[in-house]
């Protein structure tokens, strides 16, 4: 097995682990919100940290799962209208979608790094949520997830051009 194949398998394992982490975040959200609502209704007790952690976990869930969702051909594209056009138009739409995905992932990664670094340097905190957590920890998932997503989009493009996937312009799974 070549180094490229080993790197690909390692990357796939990383995406699988991040997907499992995303599942754990969803379970945390369900359990913590349920406990918060139950405690508030029956005991008159409210946990201030539940809302903050759930807001942040939604950001983490989004950026940790985006590359996995891209790999699985999830809802990262919608081609219901594109399918009505002739094959050459569908092929152009595929290339436009790839270009937009690469630009979006690049922007998320670049600005995510800038904002994370800026929050690190300024030692910023969100005093309206949990005051003890520096904001750069929260923002760091954006460039990390954006970069993984960028890698996966590039892998999808390479796989489509190498024939490893169905290269039919009607197939949205590699967009």
134 forms beta bridges with 125
**Extended beta strands in the chain, E state:** none
Neighbours of 37 (CB within 10 A): 12
pLDDT of residue 173: 44
Mean of per-residue pLDDT scores for the chain: 88
Query: pLDDT (tens digit, 9 = 90+) per residue, 105-162?
Result: 999 999 999 999 999 999 988 767 777 888 999 999 999 999 999 999 999 999 988 8
**Among 157, 138, 116, residue whose Cα is nearest residue 59:** 138
In sequence order, what DSSP letters do the residues of 23-50 get, joined into one string? HHHHHHHHHHHHHHHHHHHHH----HHH
Q: How many residues does the chain have?
A: 175
Q: What's the DSSP call for residue 170?
A: T
Neighbours of 125 (CB within 10 A): 15
What Cα–Cα distance (Å) separates residue 155 from each residue in 4, 16, 46, 126?
11, 16, 46, 37
Q: What's the DSSP call for residue 153?
A: H
Instruction: Give first-to-last CA distance, the chain, whole Å.
Output: 27
Q: What is the pTM of this model?
A: 0.83
pLDDT of residue 75: 67
pLDDT of residue 175: 42
């Amino acid at each position: 097995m070549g180094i490229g194949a080993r790197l690909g398998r390692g990357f796939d394992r990383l995406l699988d682990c991040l997907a499992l982490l995303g599942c754990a975040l969803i379970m945390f959200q369900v359990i913590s919100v349920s406990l918060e609502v139950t405690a508030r209704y029956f005991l008159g007790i409210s946990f201030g940290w539940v809302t903050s952690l759930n807001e942040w976990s939604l950001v983490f869930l989004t950026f940790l799962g985006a590359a996995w969702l891209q790999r699985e051909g999830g809802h990262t594209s919608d081609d219901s209208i594109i399918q009505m056009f002739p094959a050459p138009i569908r092929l152009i739409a595929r290339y436009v979608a790839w270009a937009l995905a690469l630009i979006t992932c690049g922007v998320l990664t670049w600005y995510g790094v800038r904002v994370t670094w800026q929050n690190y340097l300024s030692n910023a905190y969100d005093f309206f949520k949990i005051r003890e957590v520096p904001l750069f920890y929260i923002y760091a998932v954006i460039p990390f997830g954006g970069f993984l997503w960028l890698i996966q989009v590039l892998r999808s493009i390479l796989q489509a051009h190498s024939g490893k996937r169905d290269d039919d312009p009607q197939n949205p799974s590699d967009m």
